[in-house]
Amino acid sequence: MAVRYAFLVFWLLVSVLPVVVLVMASLKDTALFQSIPEVLSFRGFTLDNYERSFRQGNYLFFLRNSMIISFSALIVVLVTCVPMAYGITKLVSDRSRGTLVFMVLSTRFLPYVVLALPMYLFFARIGLSGTLIGVILAHLAMQMPFIVWLMLGFFAGIPREVEEAAVIDGCTPFQVFWKVCIPMVLPGLNASAILAFIISYNEFLFAFFLAGYDAQPLTVGITRFIGGADVGAQYGVVAAYGSLIILPIILFALIVNRYIVSGLTQGAVKG
């Protein structure tokens, strides 16, 4: 048993130690590398690197873009995908249901560059390049297959009798969906929304291809900032900026851990 616990603690370190190193390094006053014991020691703390991330790195501007993109994408994704998943589970014909489920499943595996490059070209032609709308549409494309697929599983769990009873009580189809089924899949809906938000917040490729400067989220902002000549080899600032991106999302994930677990295991594990 002791060996097992030792392994679990070892894996805990594998999972979090790199992040701990990043955060500790961000709090040290240095333009240079320090050895790992120095980085992890509780001496010489300073917030200088954070101050510079806010001031020179324009953190709040990129944070604002990240939030607009993530929340807008989330809303668009839920509005289109949740009714779609519900409708698919209600299809009577096995064949059309099978076809749609297959389409959803196969688009899940699309390489993102296949979408990003034509979108770049297309948005350039219709004047959407470098806009938040372009990035949000790209995020819709990236999220749709995953979220529809998740919600399919959650809707499939509603017993048929519940809906039939609602119909007998005089509910319209929309009321059955909105007042009966949505409350029943609320935990699943939360899980989908949380995962969609995390994926959007972390996303880099689409934003990198499509965002120009004005619509850049944090993930692109940090790469441009670090590449800039004014920062050079100030590793502490890189660490602080990285921490400012990674810590909020990790804390959020720890708080809503229950929903992430249910979302990720949904569809993979029956019963």
Partner 1 sequence: MSSRRHFNPWAFILPGVIAGGVVLGVPVVQAFWTSLHRLRLYRLHDQVFVGMENYLRLWQDPLFMLSVRSTVVFTVGCTVLSVLAGLMVAAIMSTRGIRGTTMARFFMAFYLVPFVATQVVVGMLGRLYVWEPEYGLVNFLLSLVAIDGPMWLISRDTAMLATVITNAWRLTPLAILIFYAALATVPDELLESAEVDGAGGLRTFTAIKLPLIRYHIGFVTLIQMTSAFREFDTVFALTGGGPGRATNVLSLLVYNEGISAANLGMANAIAFTMLIIVGVISLAYMRLARLDKAGE
Q: Which of residues 135-174 bind partner 1 (CB under 8 A)?
A: 137-138, 140-141, 144-145, 148, 167, 172-173
Least separation, in Å, of the C-beta of 128 and partner 1? 12
The helices-and-strands tally (H runs, E runs) of the chain is 15, 0
Asked if residue 151 lies in contact with residue 81, where contact means CB atoms within 8 angstroms, the answer is yes
Binding status of residue 238 toward partner 1 by CB under 8 A: yes
Residue 34 sits at φ, ψ, to 5 deg, of: -120, 160
By beta-carbon proximity to partner 1, the closer residue of 1 and 229 is 1
From the list 33-41, 46-54, 55-63, 183-191, the region that binds partner 1 by CB under 8 A is: 33-41
Mark 80-119 with x for binding to partner 1 (rule: CB under 8 A) and - for no binding.
Answer: xx-xxxxxx-xxx-----x-xxxx-xxxxxxxxxxx-xxx
Token pair listed for 199: 């994926």
In Å, how far from its chain's centre is CA 206?
13
122 in contact with partner 1 (CB under 8 A): yes
Rg from Cα positions in the chain: 23
**32, 13 contact by CB (below 8 A):** no
What separation in angstroms does the CA of 226 have from each of 52, 104, 222, 235?
12, 38, 6, 9
- The residue count for binding partner 1 (CB under 8 A) is 102
- Does position 268 interact with partner 1 (CB under 8 A)? The reply is yes
- Find the shortest distance in angstroms from Cβ 133 to partner 1: 12
45 forms bridges with which residues in the sheet?
A: 28
Q: How far is the CB of 214 from partner 1 (least distance, A)?
A: 18
Kindly write out the interface string for residues 196-235 of this chain, putting x where it contacts partner 1 by CB under 8 A and - elsewhere.
--x--xxxxx---x--------xx--xx--x--------x
Phi and psi, residue 45, nearest 5°: -70, 145
Which C-beta is closer to partner 1: that of 184 or that of 226?
226
